[in-house]
Structure 1
Amino acid sequence: MSSIEVSLVASNYQTKSDTDHATLRPQRLPPPPPSLQSQLPTPPIDQTTMPLESETSPTSVQTSIKPIDNMNKNQLFLLSEFKRLFDNFDYEIVREEILNRKMIECNFTTVLWRIFLLCLSRDANQWNDMLDTCRNNYEKLVDQYKIDPYKISDNNNKDISNLNHPLSRDENSLWSQYFSDEELKATITTDVRRTCPDISFFRNPRMIDLQLRILFTHSRHHHKTTPYRQGMHEILGIVVYAIHLESLKVNECQESNELMKKLYDSQYLEHDAYEIFEKIIDHLRQFYSLSTKHSSIRKSIISNGIKQIPFQRNDVHIPPNDTVTRMNSIFERLRHYDHSLHGKLEELNIEPTVYG
């Protein structure tokens, strides 16, 4: 064979072997031809004019609208609830709903407190004048029982009898009253600082001073009937906190009327809390007053045929407290309603004041 023939045979053999070898492997599909759009030059991206994804995303638009819609609905519901309750207030219907536990969640609980405690009348048309009167009266009480020691010193020079001298032991001396007031304030402050220590609201110095003024003013104004007793601060704390929480909702509500705003004016939180607290303590007076009208009782008088109060000590004279008397009365009733339970409590010497 010539060199040309040899090269042709070799090339045919190589082509055949390559073809046979290629058939053994699966071949990838060729990529599609580039589109016309991809062949065009890509313009540079302007970051300043490029809209953010959150601005154009329909999901983000929905999420930004929903909270606003919900807030508007809540505000409208708040206003409609206020009108439903108080535009034509029906005392008996509302009272029945409360007793049947249909108003467990109410946005105007403290307003209902004021109505049922007779702080407000059942006619909402009279509330504006009543609020003004009560708030002014509280401010007068605060001023009435405020003693300025600097003014006492100034007036002392004009006092010929030296009644208001700092060293005077006269009970009618202003200095004597001032020192007595300071002792009372110290006692109240100690209790107020213990009120719900796990809630930051009660640790606020402004709230501590607010409760101190209310309790001090009430104690001075009612010193003959219901002076300050430990435990009163807990009742006041609930009242102040409840008004505060409700006022936050109302003051954030744009859909509110003038009466709503006036009822929950944060400037008069202290005034309104005092009014409610005063009415509550008036109802609880018998539990805080120390009665001295009753004679002392001994267990030894059982032999004389006089009925003995359960668990009464026989070694000392103890003037019975009205609360203890009521608790023992409940214990006596229990004898008739559940004799076995009454006997068990008596056997274990569990006093009525523990569960009463």
Structure 2
Amino acid sequence: MTETDIQTTNQLDCFKKFFVFDDGYSSLKEVGINSGFDTMDIRSIAWRIFLGALHGVCGNGWIKETQQQRNKYQILVDKLENGPIREKNLKKLTEESDTIPDPLSINEQNPWCQHFNEMDVEKRVGVDILRLFSEYDFFRNDQVREHIKRVCVIYSLEHSELQYNQGFHELVGVLYYCISRDIQSWKGTKEVMDNLMKDEFKENINADVYKVMSYIFDEQYMEHDAYTMFDLLMHSVTDFYDPNETRNSTIESPDGSATHTKLMIKCDKLFKELEKLDNQLYLHLKYEGIHLVIFGTRWLRLLFDREFHVMDVLNVWDAIFAYGNNLEFVDYLFLAMMIQIREPILESSQYSTTMMLFMKYPDIKDIHDVINLAKELADKKGDYDPLPYIKPLSGTTLTQKVMEMGTKQRAQKKQEEFTVPKHVQEDRSIVEQQQEQEKVEQQKKKEEVETNELVKQRIKHSIQLLSSSINNEGVISDPSGVVEALSELKLVNAVMNGLLPTELADGYFNIFDKKE
């Protein structure tokens, strides 16, 4: 057996170690939290166990469970594809029915009403799918996009009370990618085992394992398995998407106002936990009026899958699912991520830097640094060690830095002029001086126009965001949208008062645009 063959059979060895000989999965959970499953190619099986899709040890029971789950999803696919208003069925409907359905009827039982709803969901999902992890070749594959899209559409139609929400496609995308990686590894493992073991392989314990792995790692059912895992995952994150949770509720800011939504309650709980963990960072956020929901909405809804590279996300989810307890580890990861960037936030002690770091989380050299910190916090259960005080650097706000740079440049220029011989300065023509003055004035006017245009655009954007977040009765329907709009207006005010240069403001405003 070659070295390549040995590496290929590692998947089989790990499968037997964790799923055949350890019925309590204690070792599996330990690996998931401490190191992850990057080198084992069994991640999708581990996740199914943690999420509750598979029970007990590997055997025929797994095949039966998986078969039932796939059959259930196939029924939903057939239901979607065979709808009465689908092109292939429309002619049959009009020929066999005494009464032709009226496309303009608003009766929910009307097939056209169902059809229009399906088309609306498919359109919304389709738009999001085109943006899904577009930086990765895997997610630009048309078949991959179609599978992920159908999972999102079917789940949304089957959970009409929840409806489709942005973020579904990203959760499904990570699950689908995880399954695909394991199946690609299984192709190599299966080929090696078929060629090297043959009849001998079928006579030992590997025979049953081989049978189960062949069934579970079936490429034609990746979409089915992704739906099963997504459906189970949503049991734990539904509260963060439920549209009913954002109605008739108020926004809590750090001043202590009341909240009612579960997402806001979660962020409030984390904010109070931060007070115990890092009082200095807590006071800074409270003073600046930065509510965790501004960035926490995305962190929680997507389980951090937009804050890290996709391979790092797989390790993060390993730890989240392995820890269990209804995704409790998410809370500790949330706090750990904040602590990880406390130093640059507290050194600058400014609103714009804080927002930039939270909304566009900096690259992490080793994701396990964050995971291990979260694990330490989880072990301490609120009994945290005091963190070192970070002294704000004197005069280091972003605006001050820019002003200091400008002052130094002007002083340097003045010094250069001072050192020029007097007779040379006297020889400068009046025309040249006038030209320089005109350039300065033109540049100043250009900057004023750009600033005014930027302010107009951002105020218009904030008003639109506020309008979409408040319903016709004047009740807030999207608290996070209101918070984002107010945060944006705060930056606009800084630009209008000359506290934030236009060229720097563009970068911060892009944060809000990217979040949409």
Q: Structure 2 length as normaliser, TM-score?
A: 0.49
* 1:324 equivalent in structure 2: 264
- Counterparts in 2 of 1:1-356, with a 5 A limit? 69-89=2-22, 90-101=24-35, 103=37, 105-125=39-59, 126-146=61-81, 147=83, 148-162=86-100, 164-224=101-161, 226-253=162-189, 254=191, 255=193, 257-292=210-245, 295-297=248-250, 309-310=252-253, 320-354=260-294, 356=296
Give the secondary structure class of the aligned counterpart of 1:272: helix
CA offsets 1:250-293 (integer angstroms, 9 cap, x no match): 11222272221211110111111111111111211111112359
Measured after TM superposition, the shift of residue 198 of structure 1 is 1.8
Native 8 Å contact 2:255 2:286 kept in 1: no
After superposition, the Cα gap between the structure-2 partners of 1:313 and 1:296, relative to the gap in structure 1 and judged at 3 Å, is: farther
CA distance in 1, matches of 2:237, 2:36: 26
Native 8 Å contact 1:251 1:261 kept in 2: no
CA offsets 1:217-252 (integer angstroms, 9 cap, x no match): 11111122x322101111111111111111111112
Identity of aligned residues (%): 23
Give the secondary structure class of the aligned counterpart of 2:56: coil
Structure 1 range deviating more: 96-105 or 249-258: 96-105
CA offsets 1:168-204 (integer angstroms, 9 cap, x no match): 3322210111112111101101101111112222111
Measured after TM superposition, the shift of residue 108 of structure 1 is 0.2
Native 8 Å contact 2:239 2:262 kept in 1: yes
After superposition, the Cα gap between the structure-2 partners of 1:219 and 1:161, relative to the gap in structure 1 and judged at 3 Å, is: same
Measured after TM superposition, the shift of residue 100 of structure 1 is 3.1
Measured after TM superposition, the shift of residue 338 of structure 1 is 3.4
Native 8 Å contact 1:291 1:320 kept in 2: no
Letter in 2 for 1:281: M
Letter in 2 for 1:112: A
* 2:397 equivalent in structure 1: none
Measured after TM superposition, the shift of residue 312 of structure 1 is 8.5
CA distance in 1, matches of 2:35, 2:77: 38
Give the secondary structure class of the aligned counterpart of 1:343: helix
Native 8 Å contact 1:196 1:202 kept in 2: yes
CA RMSD of superposed structures (Å): 2.6
CA distance in 2, matches of 1:157, 1:321: 50
CA offsets 1:304-350 (integer angstroms, 9 cap, x no match): xxxxx325999xxx984321221022223333443332221111121
Measured after TM superposition, the shift of residue 70 of structure 1 is 1.8
* 1:34 equivalent in structure 2: none
Letter in 2 for 1:107: D
Native 8 Å contact 1:287 1:323 kept in 2: yes
CA distance in 2, matches of 1:297, 1:77: 53
Native 8 Å contact 1:292 1:319 kept in 2: no
CA distance in 2, matches of 1:212, 1:312: 42
CA distance in 2, matches of 1:293, 1:349: 21
Structure (1/2) with the larger helix percentage:
2
Measured after TM superposition, the shift of residue 150 of structure 1 is 4.2
After superposition, the Cα gap between the structure-2 partners of 1:268 and 1:132, relative to the gap in structure 1 and judged at 3 Å, is: same
Structure 2 gaps of 5+ residues are 195-209, 297-516
CA distance in 2, matches of 1:129, 1:227: 31
Structure 1 gaps of 5+ residues are 1-67, 299-308
Measured after TM superposition, the shift of residue 105 of structure 1 is 3.4
CA distance in 1, matches of 2:15, 2:114: 46
Give the secondary structure class of the aligned counterpart of 1:196: coil
After superposition, the Cα gap between the structure-2 partners of 1:295 and 1:181, relative to the gap in structure 1 and judged at 3 Å, is: closer
CA distance in 2, matches of 1:78, 1:261: 12
Native 8 Å contact 1:297 1:319 kept in 2: yes
Native 8 Å contact 1:117 1:276 kept in 2: yes
Letter in 2 for 1:310: S
CA offsets 1:135-167 (integer angstroms, 9 cap, x no match): 1111001112332244244324544454x2233
Structure having greater relative contact order (Cα 8 Å, sep ≥ 6): 2
CA distance in 2, matches of 1:341, 1:138: 47
After superposition, the Cα gap between the structure-2 partners of 1:274 and 1:252, relative to the gap in structure 1 and judged at 3 Å, is: same
* 2:202 equivalent in structure 1: none
CA distance in 2, matches of 1:211, 1:135: 15
Structure 1 range deviating more: 203-212 or 186-195: 203-212
* 1:15 equivalent in structure 2: none
Count of matched residue positions in the alignment of Structure 1 and Structure 2: 274
